Structure 1
Amino acid sequence: MNYRHGFHAGNFADVLKHVVLTRILSHLNAKPAPYRIVDTHAGAGRYDLGSEEALRTHEWKDGVARIDRSPLSPAVEALLAPWRAALAGARALYGPGAYPGSPWLCRHAMRPGDRLIAAELHPPTWRKLAEAIGRDRRCKPLAIDGWTALRANVPPKERRGLVLIDPPFEEKDEFATLAAQFVAAHRKWPTGIYALWYPLKDRGGVEALIEAVSDAGIGRLLRLEIDIDRPAAAGGLSATGLIVVNPPWRLAEEAQTLLPALTERLAQGPRPRYHCEAIRPDG
């Protein structure tokens, strides 16, 4: 595996993924019972937007930098508050170019009794992950394949929590693998919250994923997507999405507030769009 998220850290896809992640964590924190997070493809934990990788692509300039530019509406800012607080925390510790990845965001939100399993197979990236979160006893960075980590860690003993599945999508059959691995995990832990991230390059792959999940009888899905209408000449990703399984109550309502505002702020072309759909909400 040669995926290096440092090239893409802080881009528009990260903004969507991480804002939704912090909203889910906020809902988990609303109840006193402890929870466990399994981050299957964790990456380095945190990133330096002044690094050679980040400066080669400058993707963060059309992502987190646009959100930094000025406040959005009060209703949107209220929902962004946990993500903004984590950003501020990372910058206070590591400088203004710091950008927290999903493990760092989880660590920032967790309470004393909560736990995080973060898997990363790529050795240099795992070493960065261990440096970012390994000193925290609540966190366990594992140098193993993400699918192995998923199979081994559900259901958690807490019987409450979140699985974030964010594969690199470098293999041609990645959507099929994601569907099969998720369905198998859901059979073992049907009450957990799952967040499945995907790039929106292959709409057929996304539809096949949703069909496979539906064919498995899994209900209560929330499909969230944004398309920033990036010009084809610019190359790169233009659209991204998340499927949230067993979404917390009111997450769909929050997304209806967040997605239009994020899409408008992050748009690079004249026809951006967002999609917020509850699929079999009572399934």
Structure 2
Amino acid sequence: MLSYRHSFHAGNFADVLKHIILIQNLEYLTKKDKPFCCIDTHAGPGKYELDGEYALKTREFENGIAKLWQRKDLPECVARYVSLIKRFNSPDKLTRYPGSPLITKQLLRDKDRLCLFELHNTEIKLLTAEANKDKRINVFHADGLTDCLKLLPPFERRGLVLIDPSYEIKSDYQQVVETLVAMHKRFATGTYALWYPVIERSRNQKLERAIKAGGINNVQLFELGIRADSNEHGMTASGMIVINPPWTLAAEMKQVLPWLAEVLGNNNEGFYRIETLVSDD
């Protein structure tokens, strides 16, 4: 867990999906005048250098943000995502990619709050520097999956919790469900966005079954794959499981995910899933 560095994967197809859905959720929260709190349980360093050693070693961004960078036919919410990424770059060159903390920071209003958790000793220093004494942002050098429970419910009574573990440890799949159930008991009206990779499909199926059995209603799943499931090493797809999603989210993703699967899929193998795991009863 403490060895994981997202710099190798920044801006890849999984980040594209994760950050489009993050932006959609945040924009929905800003439609009301009331303040909200966003909690990021695995914040990372805040931003990534795509021309740096880590990113260039894997070049995963080339099959993610780089494929969208200069296109003129972007669906509306993809265009808003790309426009936000461009704020961190010169007009004609893609060299930086903001992580979820800086993406969220761009959408915060003066009355909103952002709470960032990061456990990695190097990443926390970079993250604290990126927060740059912003009074709206609190940074915690702690395990977000356990320590963020202390912040729930937020005093605003409105908010989003982004859960984005590395899943380097297989027990992460079980722990995220246990954490989601505990979070929901404390803050049942909050929105929760859980990212997951698809490396071994049986793990994901177990995760979905556990969430369905967790006693939480109103759960939707959005998945983007770039190639068919495989037993070979590497991530073939990733997704977001959203609890209490904006009512507009599923319709927006029905427009976006087929397009992304076609543009980012390898050799016409791209695919997507949109499913209601648990209905809103």
With the length of structure 2 as denominator, give the TM-score of the two structures. Answer: 0.94
Query: Do 2:199 and 2:234's aligned partners in 1 also have CA atoms closer than 8 Å?
Result: no
Q: CA deviation at 1:236?
A: 2.5
Match of 1:62 in 2: 63
146-155 or 160-169, larger mean C-alpha shift: 146-155
Q: CA deviation at 1:123?
A: 1.1
Task: Give a deviation string over 1:13-48, Cα, whole Å, max 9, x none.
Answer: 000000111111111111111000000000111111
Q: CA deviation at 1:281?
A: 2.9
Q: Relative to total residues, which structure has the larger helix share, 1 or 2?
A: 1
Task: Give the secondary-structure state (helix, strand or coil) at the position aligned to 2:185.
Answer: helix
Q: CA deviation at 1:232?
A: 6.6
What is the number of residues matched between the two proteins? Answer: 279
Structure 1 pair 153/92, CA: closer, same or farther in 2 (3 Å)?
A: farther
- Distance, in Å, in 2 between the alignment partners of 1:111 and 1:281 is 32
Gaps of 5+ in 1: none
Task: Give the secondary-structure state (helix, strand or coil) at the position aligned to 1:20.
Answer: helix
Indicate the RMSD between aligned Cα atoms, in angstroms: 1.9
Task: Give a deviation string over 1:218-260, Cα, whole Å, max 9, x none.
Answer: 1111100011017979952111011000001110000101111
- Distance, in Å, in 1 between the alignment partners of 2:189 and 2:78 is 26
Aligned with residue 280 of structure 1, among 275, 278, 281 = 278
Task: Give the secondary-structure state (helix, strand or coil) at the position aligned to 1:244.
Answer: strand
- Distance, in Å, in 2 between the alignment partners of 1:42 and 1:271 is 31
Q: Which residue identity is paired with 2:60?
A: E
- Distance, in Å, in 2 between the alignment partners of 1:234 and 1:66 is 25
Match of 1:36 in 2: 37
Structure 1 pair 23/157, CA: closer, same or farther in 2 (3 Å)?
A: same
Q: Which runs of 4+ in 1 moved over 6 A?
A: 230-234
Structure 1 pair 87/209, CA: closer, same or farther in 2 (3 Å)?
A: same
- Distance, in Å, in 2 between the alignment partners of 1:270 and 1:249 is 31
232-241 or 251-260, larger mean C-alpha shift: 232-241
Counterpart check, 1:121 vs 2:122? no
Structure 1 pair 205/234, CA: closer, same or farther in 2 (3 Å)?
A: closer
Structure 1 pair 179/234, CA: closer, same or farther in 2 (3 Å)?
A: closer
Task: Give the secondary-structure state (helix, strand or coil) at the position aligned to 2:89.
Answer: helix
Gaps of 5+ in 2: none
Q: CA deviation at 1:80?
A: 2.1
Match of 1:196 in 2: 194
Q: Which residue identity is paired with 1:125?
A: E
Structure 1 pair 230/4, CA: closer, same or farther in 2 (3 Å)?
A: farther
Query: Do 2:200 and 2:231's aligned partners in 1 also have CA atoms closer than 8 Å?
Result: no
162-171 or 148-157, larger mean C-alpha shift: 148-157
189-198 or 82-91, larger mean C-alpha shift: 82-91
Q: CA deviation at 1:282?
A: 1.9
Q: CA deviation at 1:157?
A: 0.7
User: Quick one: percent identity of the two aligned structures?
Assistant: 38
Match of 1:17 in 2: 18
Match of 1:157 in 2: 155
Match of 2:3 in 1: 2
Structure 1 pair 111/185, CA: closer, same or farther in 2 (3 Å)?
A: same
Query: Do 1:264 and 1:272's aligned partners in 2 also have CA atoms closer than 8 Å?
Result: yes
Task: Give the secondary-structure state (helix, strand or coil) at the position aligned to 2:19.
Answer: helix
Match of 2:77 in 1: 79
Q: Which residue identity is paired with 1:272?
A: G
Task: Give the secondary-structure state (helix, strand or coil) at the position aligned to 2:221.
Answer: strand
